[in-house]
Chain A
Amino acid sequence: MFWESILPNPLAGAAQAVAAQPVMDDEVFAGFYERSARSLWAYLARTSGDPALAEDLMQESYVRFLTAPNPPSHVADGEVACRRYLFRIATNLMRDHWRRPRAASIEDIPENFFAQPSDASQSESRMILGPALAKMRPRERQLLWLAHAEGYSHHEIAEVTGLGSASIRLLLFRARRKIARLLEEGNRGRRQAC
């Protein structure tokens, strides 16, 4: 009586852990991925300035989303909440990446890293925005992208970045003023060059 009641418990617990239901099934996930991956990659690529890193972080974000212990439910909370949660994971991953000490060897850097993209392959907005974003702090880039490219509210940005709603307003105001000045200078420079 005792052994039957005591011994199966650890095994049952283990089986439950192995067979625990994922956040969403594979078909629902495929749909969610198709709708959200491009914007997530754009966010990561433009705020990090490294498309290869953006792809790695994007994939890791989805894997962490699927293995998270308490993620928002796609059915109960909706896709918007899932998307916000995904952006939050990606933001944390990017922050961890920036905090990590850089110890890359020259052999680890991809061949095309130093190649300057030709003007023909770069669009006008990217040619203006790229240098301006490069002069911004990582946190400012994130805030600006989330607010102006993704159209998130201050409250949503606070959820994604983990900052307070009140400080978002101030930080975003300063970042916007700074990048507007840089964009205006960029536009002026391009007009003079033409």
Chain B
Amino acid sequence: MLSACPRETEVKELVELGQWPQACAPELRAHVDACRSCKQFALVAATFRSARAEAIAEIKLPPPGVLWWRAQLRRRNAAVEKIGRPILGAQIFALAINLVLAVAFIGWQARHGLSWLTWFSSPASSAQAASLHLEALWSPELFSSTLSSSIANPLVMIPAIATLALLGGVAVYLASEKH
């Protein structure tokens, strides 16, 4: 049976005002003595109210400034973490791209016999490379062959990979920051 006694509200008001049982009308008191629901309610409510009043007097509160400061610190740390998250994501992405491209490049070069390694070992070829012939860059007939050969040239490939990774990192940072 869940239905409460209609007079329970009167008892509740008296308990909340701290007037139970002193300021209770004799007629209501007689009802509470006879009604099991009201009797239980009065006992429980008065005990809890009294326990609350004692507990409230018992505690020595820490100053609110400490809690305010802790909250500010936590908010700031959360904000810093929020800023750092996209940057970390971008760094990981850039590193991953670099690794993938490096592995792909090495694999591709390995299939072509790593011919460019001789470029480092031969001093004569290094001297040739140092002397730059600008007219060769503007020659249209040489452009198509230069383009195809530049793919195999590490001096072109490595900066290209680095630029790609850098731009990829920036793109990921901007995208994740919006989230």
Contacts and interface: CB of A to CB of B under 8 A. Distances in A.
B55 A45 contact: yes
B56 A42 contact: yes
Given A126-B51, A149-B48, A176-B40, A26 B79 contact: no
Nearest to A19: B79
A183 interface: yes
Count chain B CB atoms within 10 A of each CB in A41, A148, A180 and give the residue with the most.
A148
Contact of A125 (B47, B58, B74): B47
A9 to B, nearest CB: 7
Given A10-B177, A29-B64, A176-B41, A125 B2 contact: no
B113 interface: no
Interface in B35-78: 40-41, 43-45, 47-52, 54-56, 58-59, 61-62, 64-65, 67-68, 70-72, 74-76, 78
B16 interface: yes
B80 interface: yes
A169 B71 contact: no
B72 A22 contact: yes
B79 A39 contact: no
B104 interface: no
Contacts, number: 127
A93 interface: no
A121 B79 CA distance: 47
Interface residues of B, number: 39
A39 B86 contact: no
Query: Secondary structure of the B side of the interface?
Result: helix
A41 to B, nearest CB: 5
Interface stretch (A59-67, A77-85, A102-110, A155-163): A59-67
A98 interface: no
Nearest to A6: B174
Nearest to B16: A151
Contacts of B2: 169-170, 173
The interface size bin for chain A is 35 or more
Query: Secondary structure of the A side of the interface?
Result: helix
A177 interface: yes
B61 A18 contact: no
Count chain B CB atoms within 10 A of each CB in A6, A125, A126 and give the residue with the most.
A125
B71 A22 contact: yes
Interface of A: 6, 9-10, 13-14, 17-18, 20, 22, 26, 29-30, 33-34, 37-39, 41-42, 45-46, 51, 55, 59, 62-63, 66-67, 123, 125-126, 128-129, 144-145, 148-151, 169-170, 173, 176-177, 179-180, 183-184
Given A17-B78, A129-B48, 15 more contacts: A17-B79, A17-B83, A34-B61, A42-B52, A42-B58, A45-B59, A46-B52, A63-B70, A125-B51, A148-B45, A148-B47, A151-B16, A170-B2, A176-B40, A183-B44
Interface of B: 2, 16, 40-41, 43-45, 47-52, 54-56, 58-59, 61-62, 64-65, 67-68, 70-72, 74-76, 78-80, 82-83, 86, 173-174, 177
